[in-house]
């Protein structure tokens, strides 16, 4: 009796396809043609109703595009491509990405490493400020795609289980701002990658002053003890990798304080990704 060979895993098994019905093929082709036409008409109507313009300088753009920036504004974006500090992701003038910057040598961090997509300045800074303070949440798609670039620079292992978590806002600030920009970015990344996001993993338990004019030491003091792990997750972080998401990395004080809480709860690794990072070292 002839022995039946089983197909190896990964090989494609072909099934005999039924003879095509010409009438069905014609209807399907017409339907596909109609669908394509509708899509083009929809874009044209949108272009007429809402003329596409650069998100920053309002220069007219040719058509609705995924990245709403004109050539001039695009030129003022500085993507971080390396070399950068292996801990905080600070762009370095020379060398390779295996080095540690002076700031990270002087001040040990609780997070394992942080990466950002662009340098905080010019077009990138304006976009983030609009996204954060001007209700311009339509920029989410563009910023989430940039965050993906930063995530691809993390030393994540293939198949590593990761939990996304946004940096929380204090509820009083959330009432004023109406949304948490970090939570929106986390949602964007979760939708693009299918990675689970725990929006309330951390809680900001006290109001902190705006960090804007503070130096590193003042920033670290300002956020000290400001975060707590939500009680129901207290026994569920052991051995897990947490990916903190935020808009800007300045001195890393807020991210560091959050990472401290997560590590105390047993997190194996804490990484951070931000859309942008300031390009000056923090040594004081
Ligand atoms: Zn522009
Ligand atoms: Zn560094």
pLDDT at 44: 63
Task: Give the model confidence (pLDDT) of 180-204 as tens digits.
Answer: 999 999 999 999 999 999 999 999 9
Q: How far is the centre of ligand 2, averaged over its atoms, from the C-alpha of 101 (Å)?
A: 4
pLDDT of the residue at 16: 42
With a cut of 50, which residues of the chain have pLDDT below it? 1-17
Of the candidates 98, 95, 106, the residue with the CA atom closest to the CA atom of residue 281: 106
Ligand at minimal distance from the CA of 53 is 1
**What domains, with CATH codes, occur in the chain?**
77-277 (3.40.50)
pTM of the entire predicted model: 0.79
Query: DSSP state, 135?
Result: -
What's the confidence (pLDDT) of residue 49? 65
Question: Which residues, by Cβ under 5 Å, contact ligand 2, an ion?
Answer: 85, 87-88, 90, 101, 104
Q: Say what the pLDDT of residue 87 is.
A: 96
Given this model, what pLDDT does residue 223 score?
86
Per residue in 130-151, pLDDT (tens digit) is 999 988 888 999 999 999 999 9
Number of CB atoms found within 10 A of residue 191's CB: 13
Place of tokens 């989430």: 144
**Element (DSSP H or E) covering residue 194:** none
Which ligand is in closest contact with the Cα of 57?
Answer: 1
Write down the pLDDT at residue 124.
92
């Amino acid at each position: 009796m002839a022995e039946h060979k089983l197909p190896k895993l990964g090989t494609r098994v072909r099934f005999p396809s039924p003879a095509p019905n010409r009438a069905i093929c014609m209807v399907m082709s017409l339907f596909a043609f109609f669908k394509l036409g509708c899509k083009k008409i929809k874009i044209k109507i949108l272009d007429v109703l809402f003329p596409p313009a650069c998100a920053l300088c309002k220069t007219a753009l040719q058509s609705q595009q995924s990245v709403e920036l004109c050539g001039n504004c695009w030129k003022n974006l500085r993507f971080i491509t390396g070399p950068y500090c292996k801990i905080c992701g600070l762009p370095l003038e020379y060398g390779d990405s295996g080095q540690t910057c002076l700031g990270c040598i002087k001040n040990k961090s609780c997070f394992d490493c942080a990466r950002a997509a662009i340098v905080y300045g010019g077009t990138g800074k304006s976009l983030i400020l609009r996204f954060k303070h001007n209700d311009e949440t339509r920029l989410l798609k563009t910023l989430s795609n940039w965050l993906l670039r930063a995530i691809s620079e993390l030393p994540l292992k293939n198949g590593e289980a990761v939990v996304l978590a946004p940096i929380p806002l204090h509820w009083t600030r959330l009432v004023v701002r109406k949304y948490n920009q970090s939570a929106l970015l986390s949602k964007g990344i979760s939708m693009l990658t299918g990675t689970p996001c725990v929006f309330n993993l951390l809680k900001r338990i006290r109001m902190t002053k705006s960090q804007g004019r503070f130096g590193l030491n003042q920033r670290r003091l300002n956020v000290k003890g400001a975060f707590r792990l939500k009680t129901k997750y207290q026994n569920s972080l052991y051995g897990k990798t947490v990916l903190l998401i935020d808009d800007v990395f300045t001195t890393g004080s807020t991210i560091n304080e959050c990472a401290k809480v997560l590590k105390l709860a047993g997190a194996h690794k804490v990484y951070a990704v931000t859309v942008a990072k300031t390009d000056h070292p923090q040594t004081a």
